[in-house]
């Protein structure tokens, strides 16, 4: 290496020995393919895109900074820029924090390899495939979308959905209260028989043990009644219990005092009848509580306008947490054990050790993860275009997606597309300069 010092600058003498090609021929041949490829596919297009961004849609007319003005005034594009900044603010921090937590937890156990593999796995698959996966996860219908199904399970455990979510009163004798419960208008006294007719009930919602509805006998000193499906195919008289009309079993009927307070409740039999025995003299109302009519859980609209960006971010964090975990775990393994032990011997709590020793020592690694994520998040594209249905892509828009949709997605405005690309380029540069300076410091 030190034997031949290459002359720097200035033309080489023609008769130099060995000749120019003998001396540098190998280098030229070794480098030629790289220079051609980089020149044609990266350097030339970059210059061309910058120039193109000052021309109009078809490229014939010089428009100065008009494309850049559009970039910052058009609603779709400003949404994209705003969303992308949200991504920058939220995602790198989350990915780094989650990776740190996982790495620290892994430190404490054996058999951590299985966990590492599972969490790291999404890194190997494409962001596009991850998008397909999460599109399925986010389906709104709780019988198909995994996340809404999970929420439905929790919700049903806390407040089960009503047995008769679609039921309506069959006559005006029953009145719907603002809170959704149904109250019989006519006051009742002991010895009365209440008839609570409901309609609008799907056959599938009628309990399987339901039988022909019956009007019960009056009970002295008590109030009896029937809740039934006041509907029969081919007509019938509303408000009357008729043949082929089924009782509604298992419905909770409340007996309320005149001022609305609940006195007692009971459940209906399979023929729809119910009875309150030993009721004190007075005036009462019969009612069916609102919970009977509460609608089943319809699912959160994850892929709707308002939640789409957080939903995609979550999918993206799922992909990248493994990267963050593996890099941080490697950094953690390199921390001298004695430092942590010394801190513990000095009486520091685990939290203090983490906060005052581990994190500061990990700072360079955390920075690598954070900065790497900044660069990737700035260019996020695949997962947005695959999770967001076409109808909400305007709401989920990010800079890289806006660039592609403007240039190739139907609008085909190469001038504006170029301006968006240049904007993206300008945003990436400072982050990478930071990264390169760090590299050089470490080298």
Hey, is 360 helix, strand or coil? helix
Residue in 233, 228, 281 with CA at minimum distance from that of residue 253: 228
* 18: preceding bond cis by omega (within 30 degrees): yes
Window 327 to 346, contacts with other proteins (CB under 8 A): 327, 330-331, 333-337
Q: Which span sits near other proteins by CB under 8 A: 65-73, 112-120, 193-201, 344-352?
A: 112-120
Mask of contacts with other proteins, 246-285, x by CB under 8 A?
----------------------------------------
Q: Compare residues 155 and 238 and give the one whose CB is closer to other proteins.
A: 155
Window 17 to 56, contacts with other proteins (CB under 8 A): 24, 26-31, 33-34, 37-38, 40-46, 48-49, 52
Of the residues 121, 211, 342, 359, which one makes contact with other proteins according to CB under 8 A: 121
Window 397 to 426, contacts with other proteins (CB under 8 A): 400, 403-404, 407-408, 414, 417-418, 420-422, 424-425
Residue in 165, 266, 274 with CA at minimum distance from that of residue 217: 274
CB of 108 to other proteins, least distance (A): 5
Of the residues 241, 385, 392, 398, which one makes contact with other proteins according to CB under 8 A: 385
Distance CA 382, CA 376 (A): 11
Q: Compare residues 78 and 128 and give the one whose CB is closer to other proteins.
A: 128
Hey, is 256 helix, strand or coil? strand
Window 76 to 105, contacts with other proteins (CB under 8 A): 102, 105
Window 350 to 379, contacts with other proteins (CB under 8 A): 368-369, 372, 375, 379
What kind and span of H or E run contains 273?
strand 273-276
Q: Compare residues 246 and 422 and give the one whose CB is closer to other proteins.
A: 422
Residue in 406, 377, 350 with CA at minimum distance from that of residue 83: 377
Q: Compare residues 201 and 403 and give the one whose CB is closer to other proteins.
A: 403
User: Per residue, what are the HEC states of 350-382?
Assistant: HHHHHHHHHHHHHHHHHHHHHHHHHHHHHCCCH
Say whether residue 320 binds other proteins (CB under 8 A).
Answer: no
Residue 27 makes CB contacts below 8 A (sequence gap 6+) with: none
CB 424 within 8 A of CB 400: yes
Window 133 to 172, contacts with other proteins (CB under 8 A): 133-137, 143-146, 149
CB of 53 to other proteins, least distance (A): 9
Q: Compare residues 255 and 420 and give the one whose CB is closer to other proteins.
A: 420
User: How many C-beta atoms lie closer than 10 Å to residue 303's C-beta?
Assistant: 21
Count of residues touching other proteins (by CB under 8 A): 102
Distance CA 421, CA 399 (A): 8
Q: Backbone phi, then psi, for 227, in 5-degree steps?
A: -115, 120
Residue in 294, 305, 319 with CA at minimum distance from that of residue 140: 305
């Amino acid at each position: 290496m030190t034997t031949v010092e290459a002359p720097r600058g200035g033309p080489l003498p023609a008769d130099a020995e060995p000749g120019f090609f003998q001396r540098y021929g190998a280098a030229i041949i070794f480098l030629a393919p790289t220079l051609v490829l980089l020149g044609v596919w990266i350097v030339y297009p970059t210059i061309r895109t910058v120039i193109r961004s000052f021309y109009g849609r078809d490229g014939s007319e010089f428009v100065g900074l008009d494309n850049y003005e559009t970039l910052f005034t058009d609603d779709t594009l400003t949404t994209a820029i705003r969303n992308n900044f949200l991504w920058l603010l939220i995602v790198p921090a989350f990915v780094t924090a989650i990776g740190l937590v996982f790495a620290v937890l892994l430190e404490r156990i054996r058999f951590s390899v299985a966990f590492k593999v599972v969490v790291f796995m999404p890194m190997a698959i494409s962001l596009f495939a991850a998008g397909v996966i999460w599109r399925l996860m986010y389906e709104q219908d709780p019988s198909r979308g995994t996340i809404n199904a999970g929420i439905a399970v929790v919700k049903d455990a806390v407040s089960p959905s009503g047995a008769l979510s679609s039921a309506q009163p069959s006559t005006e004798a029953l009145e719907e209260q603002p809170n959704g419960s149904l109250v019989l208008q006519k006051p009742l006294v002991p010895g009365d028989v209440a008839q609570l007719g409901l309609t609008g009930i799907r056959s599938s919602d009628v309990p399987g043990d339901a039988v022909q509805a019956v009007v019960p006998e009056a009970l002295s000193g008590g109030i009896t009644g029937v809740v039934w499906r006041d509907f029969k195919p081919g007509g019938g008289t509303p408000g009357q219990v008729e043949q082929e009309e089924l009782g509604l079993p298992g419905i909770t009927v409340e007996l309320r005092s005149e001022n609305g307070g609940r006195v007692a409740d009971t459940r209906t039999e399979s023929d729809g009848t119910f009875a309150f025995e030993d009721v004190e003299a007075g005036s009462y109302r019969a009612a069916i509580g609102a919970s009977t009519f509460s609608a089943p859980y319809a699912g959160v609209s994850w892929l709707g306008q308002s939640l789409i960006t957080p939903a995609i971010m979550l999918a993206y964090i799922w992909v990248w947490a493994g990267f963050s975990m593996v890099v941080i775990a490697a950094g953690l393994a390199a921390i001298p054990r004695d430092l942590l032990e010394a801190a513990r011997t000095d009486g520091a709590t685990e939290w203090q050790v983490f906060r005052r020793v581990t994190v500061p020592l990990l700072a360079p690694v955390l920075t690598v993860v954070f900065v790497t994520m900044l660069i990737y998040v700035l260019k996020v594209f695949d997962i947005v275009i695959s999770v967001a249905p076409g109808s909400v892509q305007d709401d989920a828009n990010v800079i890289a997606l806006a660039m592609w949709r403007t240039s190739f997605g139907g609008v085909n405005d190469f001038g504006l597309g170029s301006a968006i690309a240049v904007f993206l380029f300008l945003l990436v540069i400072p982050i990478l300069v930071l990264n390169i300076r760090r590299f050089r410091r470490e080298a």
